[in-house]
A and B are shown apart, each in its own frame.
Chain A
Amino acid sequence: MVNKHDVKKRMRQLAADYIHEPQQEAYKLDDTEMMLHIGPQNPIQPGPFLIDLKISGETVRDSKLYMGYGHKGIEKILESLTYIQGLPITDRMCYLSSLSNNEAYVSSVERLLDIEPPERSQYIRVIMQELSRIQSHLLGTGEYATDLGFVTMFLFMIREREYVLGLIEDITGARITHCFPRFGGVREDLPEGWREKAIDVLAMINEKCETYKELFSSDRTYRMRTVGIGTLTKEDVIKVGLTGPALRAAGIDYDVRKVYPTLTYPDIDFKVQTGNNGDIFDRIMVRINEIQESCWIIEQALDQIKPGPLFPDELPYGRRTPSMRVPPGEAYVPVEDPRGEIAIYIVSDGTDKPYRVKVRGPSFALMQGLPPMLENVYIADVPAIAASMDSCNSEVDR
């Protein structure tokens, strides 16, 4: 038998943990209001955060966000690792689209080293970025669909995502955290037979996206839940400072691939997808349109790519030196992440480790813009709005 006195002592300790002051005094609530916590473990997004909602009846009056449940101190860790050792760590900042993070880091260091990758490497990097964008949009839109209760769409999109991950895995060897670009080039070349397989898969995804657009827009209940809800007008979006699909859904066409073109994006012809109103419906449509646009970009890149070397002929440090010295300076290169604009600001002082690394992530602005959007909204709309922003919490906390 368990000792009764031990158990009672333990129960008293647990009870002591749970006692706290009356909530009316702490949060200045009226008689009609209540505090609702959607706790750190939440089904809304992959990644923990806490929302405190002050509700009165069914409407939300005020909300407050608490972040930091995934803070690892990545920027401090990167100061104690060499540049090439820091590359796998940048993978794991936003794990849903790790190739864009790698690209931002590698571009910044290449600016400091003053080298440029050859053309074949640039095309391969463009292809990988667009593939990463496709799989991230599929997962993000699928997670949003589960929060509405539309679980079938999630299962469909995960099934398509596995084909795209198979394509990525043929080149890089990993499913999520790739660590693929290198300073001056890429790690591996495209294997044989990959081009035909890619064209088949992309044709299939293009066709499925038409089905998704029809499924997402024809249902009357779905339209009632998403059209006109969670609206951010053009002025709101500029005030909050968003980038990415959440900005383009409001009608502003600002895409980092067009404004700060890097790699071979100037040679590729594509359109920037925008929406009209800035509500949930438009954000999802912008993402699905972007998937189709990415398929088109990859086909063009596969047509234009030519055989060639992967690294430039003369590198200042040697190709695989682990302890290369980077000249002192600062670099900041914006890259288009599936969620917005990511840029890594590196300050180097001439040694083999960076002096200060600052990651400017897109999800920071997305989460900062969430509390003003949740005013006078029903509780049942809160998961839909939070999930349609599609932010990655580990990038906010880093």
Chain B
Amino acid sequence: MDGETVLDSLKSQFQDAVMDAMVDSQPPHIVCANVDKEKIVDVCAYLKDNLQFNRLSGITSVDFLDKNKFEVVYMIASYDHSVIVKLKADVVRDENPSIDTVIPVWWNANWYEREVYELMGIYFNGHPEMTVLVLTDDMMGEWPFRKDYPGFPQTAAKYPYSDDQESVVESEYPLKWKSWPSERHYLE
């Protein structure tokens, strides 16, 4: 199995959904392709069923503020051969960016998509559980990894939690998370 074979097979199956496909010249020769957002699940299912790409390495997202878009990047590899495929899907940067989930294809996409949602704000349609993974509960909605996040970088010392509610400390640097994880009610 070669990078060129994978490329030709993808191009022949999905002519209009796969654009700008090329093979990297340096090792590990990655096959890069831009995919239409609507067809991502079909392309992934084709890769898994016909070309033996049974391992999803990671899902990440890049924020392009000047081009007004997000890019969701899928790194797909295999246990049987040594070709890596990198798929990129463009999502428009509006109020509710969203894309379909690839959990039906690979089971381990679950946590990757949760992390992308809480850090960048892209919603994955059909995901069973879109909750926080690494952030606190009250930081959901802040999308810290976007390029226009105001809370970074911190240059002054931050005071932690204080008992006195009316002090200057609490109002300037509020720490709202005071609930214990066992008191949250989403274990269904």
A contact residues vs B (CB 8 Å cutoff)? 13, 17, 20-21, 23, 26-28, 35, 37, 50, 52, 64, 66-68, 71, 73, 75-77, 80, 111, 114, 238-241, 252, 254, 259-260, 262, 330, 332-334, 341, 343, 345, 347, 355-356, 358, 360, 364-365, 368-369, 396-398
Chain B proximity of A66: nearest CB distance (Å): 5
Interface of A is mostly: mixed
Give complex CA distance A37, B184 in Å: 13
B contact residues vs A (CB 8 Å cutoff)? 26-28, 30, 32, 54-58, 60, 62-63, 73, 75, 79, 82, 84, 86, 106-108, 110-112, 132-136, 144-145, 152-153, 163, 178, 180-183, 185, 187-188
Give complex CA distance A80, B154 in Å: 12
Contact indicator B133/A67 (Cβ below 8 Å)? yes
Contact indicator B27/A358 (Cβ below 8 Å)? no
Contacts of B163 in A (CB 8 A): 13
Contacts of B60 in A (CB 8 A): 345, 356, 358, 360
Chain B proximity of A34: nearest CB distance (Å): 12
Q: How many interface contacts (CB-CB < 8 Å) are there between A and B?
A: 102
Closest to B185 in A: A26
Chain A proximity of B9: nearest CB distance (Å): 21
The 3 residue pairs across chains A and B that have the minimum distance between CB atoms: A68-B134, A241-B108, A358-B60
Give complex CA distance A355, B66 in Å: 13
Chain A proximity of B95: nearest CB distance (Å): 22
Give complex CA distance A333, B163 in Å: 48
Contact indicator B110/A368 (Cβ below 8 Å)? yes
Q: Tell whether A332 pairs with B86 under 8 Å between CB atoms, given A13-B163, A368-B110.
A: yes
Contacts of B133 in A (CB 8 A): 67-68
Closest to A247 in B: B79
Contact indicator A356/B86 (Cβ below 8 Å)? no
Contact indicator B187/A64 (Cβ below 8 Å)? yes
Having A27-B187, A368-B111, one finds 11 other A-B pairs with CB under 8 Å, namely A71-B135, A238-B54, A262-B27, A332-B75, A334-B28, A341-B57, A356-B62, A360-B60, A364-B112, A396-B134, A397-B134
Q: Tell whether A260 pairs with B144 under 8 Å between CB atoms, given A28-B188, A240-B108.
A: no
Contact indicator A239/B107 (Cβ below 8 Å)? yes
Chain A proximity of B143: nearest CB distance (Å): 11
The contact sample of 30 A-B pairs, CB cut-off 8 A, is: A20-B182, A20-B183, A27-B185, A52-B181, A67-B134, A68-B132, A68-B133, A68-B135, A71-B135, A75-B145, A76-B144, A77-B153, A114-B26, A239-B108, A241-B57, A241-B107, A262-B27, A341-B57, A343-B58, A345-B60, A355-B62, A356-B60, A356-B62, A356-B63, A358-B73, A364-B111, A364-B112, A365-B108, A368-B110, A396-B134
